[in-house]
């Protein structure tokens, strides 16, 4: 049906809902389309055709994030009142290094959206904004597109294999490092981006590998663990965890000397959530779960005990124009 709805070549938005009533909806056909979720929610879907060979800012931005490992922010016009100068589907893309536009509207509005895209990159959070363009409203999705998460595993033992499998299934980019060539073999870690044999007696530059990445240390070698832990703590990982009993890790930190106090605050040890179970798969699940919670700035508790919403509300923010004004309501219906 999406192909038929976009037959004109123009993008369209359809509403799919299980809600009994939406005061902003006057499209009876759209109101009848439901996902059957039974959760009283509403999903607005932007449908558009991407012609083969035609320029597409959307695919360019997504491919750029994948290739560079850097996040991006993408603005997409969802609705625009007549005479606003904007059109549905117009886009503006922003990375730390570049800005690109595809069919965006007037320079004044574009500069305001660009400023909000910069804020989106800093907050690492998507939002909707409603801007005033003349007497009309323009609704824009400001989308944060994160870089692929990276996991660096120091240790290529058998218990690292389920951890790598879980991470690959989560679409993380995984690197495995070990000084033992008989363990650090690519065929043992299907889906890993890199399996590296690296001896602590011939160290290499770690910073480009671990900065911004989640790092776990699980070599089961006291000497290797101490070397890699001290080396990684000198870098800037997004997460660092050490496998093993707390007393063992405390001893590792004590032997490092200076900086141990700061390391204790930064290091997750023993790493993993308290899920129970002691199989390699259970331990791997606990580790991946804790990393996910930390990177999402959550505690990793039970949802039934959570007082706030599971997901943050996606209510639009308003730039000089209320979404409930007649202009905004007209823009959303265009």
For residues 258 and 233, is the Cβ–Cβ distance under 8 A? no
**Mean pLDDT across the chain, nearest whole number?**
85
In Å, how far are 61, 63, 170, 306 from 101, measured between CA atoms? 11, 16, 31, 41
Residue 30 has pLDDT above 60, yes or no: no
Neighbours of 115 (CB within 10 A): 12
Give me the pLDDT at residue 279, please: 96
Residue 33 has pLDDT above 60, yes or no: no
Going by C-beta distance under 8 Å and a sequence separation of 6 or more, which residues neighbour residue 304? none
Give me the pLDDT at residue 320, please: 44
* Domains annotated on the chain, with CATH: 1-49 (no CATH), 55-147+313-334 (no CATH), 150-271 (3.40.50.720)
Short-list 157, 147, 156, CA closest to 175: 156
Residue 32 has pLDDT above 60, yes or no: no
User: What is the DSSP secondary structure assignment for residue 195, as one 8-state letter?
Assistant: E
- Of the candidate ranges 50-64, 77-91, 175-189, 316-330, the one whose mean pLDDT is the lowest: 316-330
Most confident of the following: 42-56, 68-82, 254-268: 68-82
pLDDT in tens, 67-77: 888 899 999 99
What is the rounded CA–CA span in Å between residue 276 and residue 280? 12
């Amino acid at each position: 049906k999406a192909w038929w709805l976009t037959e004109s070549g123009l993008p369209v938005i359809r509403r799919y809902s299980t809600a009994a009533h939406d005061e902003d909806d006057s499209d009876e056909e759209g109101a009848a389309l439901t996902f059957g979720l039974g959760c009283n929610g509403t999903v607005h879907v932007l449908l558009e055709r991407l012609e083969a060979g035609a320029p597409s800012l959307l695919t360019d931005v997504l491919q750029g994030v994948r290739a560079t490992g850097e996040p991006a922010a993408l603005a997409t016009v969802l609705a625009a009142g007549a005479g606003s100068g904007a059109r549905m589907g117009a886009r503006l893309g922003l990375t730390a290094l570049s800005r690109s536009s595809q069919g965006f509207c007037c320079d004044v509005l574009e500069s305001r959206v660009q400023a909000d895209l910069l804020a989106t990159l800093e907050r690492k959070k998507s939002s909707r904004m409603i801007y005033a363009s003349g007497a009309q409203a323009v609704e824009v999705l400001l989308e944060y597109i994160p870089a692929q998460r990276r996991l660096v595993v120091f240790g290529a033992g058998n218990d690292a294999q389920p951890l790598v499998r879980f991470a690959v299934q989560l679409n993380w980019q995984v690197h495995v490092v070990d000084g033992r060539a008989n363990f650090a073999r690519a065929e043992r870690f299907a889906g890993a981006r890199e399996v590296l044999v690296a001896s602590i007696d011939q160290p290499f530059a770690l910073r480009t590998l671990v900065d911004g990445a989640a790092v776990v240390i699980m070599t089961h070698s006291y000497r290797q663990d101490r070397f890699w832990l001290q080396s990684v703590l000198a870098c800037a990982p997004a997460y660092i965890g050490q496998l093993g009993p707390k007393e063992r890790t405390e001893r590792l930190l004590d032997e490092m000397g200076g900086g141990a106090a700061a390391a204790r605050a930064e290091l997750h040890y023993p790493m993993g959530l308290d899920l129970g179970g002691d199989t390699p798969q259970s331990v791997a699940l606990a580790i991946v779960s804790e990393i996910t919670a930390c990177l999402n700035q959550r505690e990793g508790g039970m949802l039934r005990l959570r007082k706030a919403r599971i997901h943050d509300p996606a209510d639009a923010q308003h730039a000089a124009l209320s979404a409930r004004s007649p202009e905004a309501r007209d823009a959303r219906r265009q």
